[in-house]
A = this chain, B = another copy of it.
Amino acid sequence: MVDKLKVSLLGSTGMVGQKMVKILANHPYLELVKVSASPNKVGKRYQDSVKWIETGDIPENIRNLPVVSTSYEDHKDVDVVLSALPNDIAEGAELELVKNGKIVISNASPYRMDPDVPLINPEVNWEHLELLKAQQQRKGWKGLLIKNPNCTAAILSMPIKPLLEIATKSKILITTLQSVSGAGYNGLSFMAMDGNVIPYIKGEEDKIAKELTKLNGKVINQKLEPANLDVTATTIRVPIKVGHMGVINLITDQKVSIEEIKYALKNFKSLPQQKRLPTAPKTPLIVREEEDRPQPMIDVIAENGMAVSVGRVRYENNVLRLVILGDNLIRGAAGITVLTVELMKELGYI
């Protein structure tokens, strides 16, 4: 393709940033032209500023890129800015860029629940991009800000979308078993986590409940109406590196059929599949029939980490139960952001 979109990346040396670098290095029409990192790295080459932890070497076409700052001057000539910044410094950096006219698609948490900012999981709620039409006016920004959900909400919302179309009135109880990468590369020490389970992840349960409500909402007259969901989540850290698992208990008075549920899950497709977006999984939800699946060791890489695996689908005592698994770094972070760029280009926002 002659005209690639020029992309810059904030937070390029972190764990999620490195995943994005890998995805972008071989992209058919996105070209990573600027990598940004913390001030002490600015001016170095990418390969000299990163502690590379991905398997394989740093992609040829990226390793010699000079590291730039997050300020507008350094990004003014790119088409879109992706952000894998840490939550605590994201707000300032991203707003500066948006106010100056850039389109920023971000993984960081600030502004996720802002009613004027679309929180996008492409297969689940691509129509929410509609909010962008009023964003500039309401916010007084020259650019655009788009957020991706928390990694766990991103994964959970995939199977919940078709489930809610069948079991419309439900009480949803979720227990998650989340991998250590979700806390960041240095977030948990080996001494604290090896051979241990920690039944607490700061802020996570609240994020899941709120973001699921927004993700399943509707945009009416360019306003977001959140869904009326009854969600309670208990989030637990388990000693594995990658992959977030969720046990979903959906209590519903409507009688549901297991076969109908599995059919709906297996056949769940959305705009990214219809438009064959490059990063979209062909089968977003993979239903496993084996009694002991999904397992992180085997299933987390399904569809290059972009699919969510679903297993142990059962219904008894008015409870629909299933176990789901997704890659928190790909589906939950790096991949969802790239897919959002593709979606926005497809729909003419970029």
A235 to B247, CA, bound (A): 10
- CB of A196 within 8 A of chain B? yes
**Given B193, B199, B247, which contacts A190 in the complex, CB threshold below 8 Å?**
B193
Interface residue A128 (Cβ < 8 Å from any Cβ of B): no
Query: A146 CB to closest chain B CB, in angstroms?
Result: 28
Closest 7 CB pairs of A and B: A200-B292, A196-B297, A175-B175, A190-B193, A199-B323, A186-B189, A180-B190
- Report if A238-B190 is in contact (Cβ < 8 Å); known contacts: A56-B301, A232-B316, A232-B319: no
7 examples of A-B residue contacts, CB within 8 angstroms: A173-B319, A190-B193, A193-B194, A194-B241, A196-B296, A199-B292, A234-B312
Within the oligomer, what is the number of copies of this chain? 4
Q: Is there contact, CB below 8 Å, between B195 and A194?
A: yes
| Complex CA distance for A185 and B189, rounded to whole angstroms | 7
Contacts of A56 in B (CB 8 A): 301
With a cutoff of 8 Å between Cβ atoms, the chain B residues found around residue A312 in the complex are 199-200, 234
Could you tell me if A240 and B196 are in contact, using CB atoms closer than 8 angstroms? Answer: yes
Question: What's the nearest-Cβ distance from chain B to residue A227, in Å?
Answer: 15
- A251 in contact (CB, < 8 A): yes
Is residue A291 within 8 Å, beta carbon to beta carbon, of the partner chain? Answer: yes
| Residue interface mask A169-184, B partner, CB < 8 A = 1 | 0010101010011000
**CA A121 – CA B93 in complex, angstroms?**
54
Q: CB within 8 A of A197: which of B173, B198, B295?
A: B295
Q: Which of B55, B239, B296 contacts A240 (CB 8 A)?
A: B239
With A196-B240, A232-B249, A312-B234 known as contacts, the answer to whether A177 contacts B180 (CB < 8 A) is no
Q: Contact: B197 with A177, CB < 8 Å?
A: yes
**Which residues does chain B contribute within 8 Å of A194, judged by CB atoms?**
180, 190, 193-195, 239, 241
B-contact 0/1 string along A217-248, CB 8 Å cutoff: 00000000000001010101011110101010
Tell me, yes or no, whether A122 is within 8 Å of chain B by CB.
no
In the bound assembly, the distance between CA atoms of A195 and B179 in angstroms comes to 9
How many Å from the CB of A181 to the closest CB on chain B?
6
CB distance from A205 to the nearest CB of B (A): 9
